[in-house]
Amino acid sequence: MLIRAGYEITYDCPAPTPMNLLLSIRPERLPDLVTMQRITANAGGAAVPMRQYRDQFGNIANRLLAPAGPTTFRADFVVEDCGQPDPVVPGAVQHPVEDVPDEVFPFLLGSRYCETQLLSPLAWSLFGQTEPGWARVQAIVDYVHDRTTFGYPHARPTRTAAEAHEEQHGVCRDFAHLAVALCRCMNIPARYCTGYLGDIGIPPVDAPMDFSAWFEVWLGGAWRTFDARHNTPRIGRILMAHGRDAADVAITTSFGAAWLTGFTVVTDEVEQGEYAQSARERA
């Protein structure tokens, strides 16, 4: 299947402001691109130079100096997807900590938004008797999904996993943070993910499209996808970045005042014929 994805995001800066962007899809998805993923920054009709690099997690990032005034970031591309829901692998085993690969080991540790020390007693009291492996992660996902109420009015960028557990509401990042923290407490490596997730294969959602957060755990020698907000396999995830938590994968980071004044995200399935026709029209 083909998915059209992209965004138009505008920030208004009172003075020149350095910014870091994590708005590219992950390198693993680049071979799936049907059209070029061209990320642009425009201010007052002029292109703003950007420099691309790979961060410590292998995510594709861009750095720039946004001028005073509004700067708009855009991308519009088509990517090929398998069209299948997230794989379910009930037999995926949990590895002993001593057998966890070195590159995976950091995802066992606490991080800024995932306070494992605070949540460890709770995690062991809730999940200590569950079967290690897939069943244990699913039990954690069920718990977070049932305990937490989703709502955009609940959004708060400083909310941690422990606070999300206490307050029992939040947005997708809070669901992911709490599940990640509980998994790490149970010695299951877990990493936070952000990317595109449209309404493909489900009834349309009556809300503006946004980027989404989910998480992956290391089971059976591979990273496995889980989603505590939706708690069901979904079709059409397009991963942009992963890290220890949201602090590592913020879509934009500004080093100075920058006011968000425009935000549009697109994630739609397109038919082969429909895309071919729109491509001819653009040409």
The model's pLDDT over 58-107, given as tens digits with 9 standing for 90+, comes to 999 999 999 999 999 999 999 999 999 999 999 999 999 999 999 999 99
Contacts of 228 (CB under 8 A, 6+ apart): 140, 141, 144, 145, 148, 175, 176, 178, 179, 214, 215
* Fold (topology level) of 97-235: C8orf32 fold (3.10.620)
Tokens 């549009």 identify what position?
A: 264
- Amino acid in the structure at residue 140: I
Q: In the chain, what are the domain boundaries? A: 2-82+250-282, 97-235
The model's pLDDT over 211-245, given as tens digits with 9 standing for 90+, comes to 999 999 999 999 999 999 999 999 999 999 999 99
The class (CATH top level) of 2-82+250-282 is: mainly beta
> Binning pLDDT at 50, 70 and 90, where does residue 264 land?
very high
Cβ atoms 108, 94 nearer than 8 A? no
Distance CA 104, CA 94 (A): 13
Distance CA 218, CA 235 (A): 21
What confidence score (pLDDT) does residue 273 get?
Answer: 67
Whole-structure pTM value: 0.94
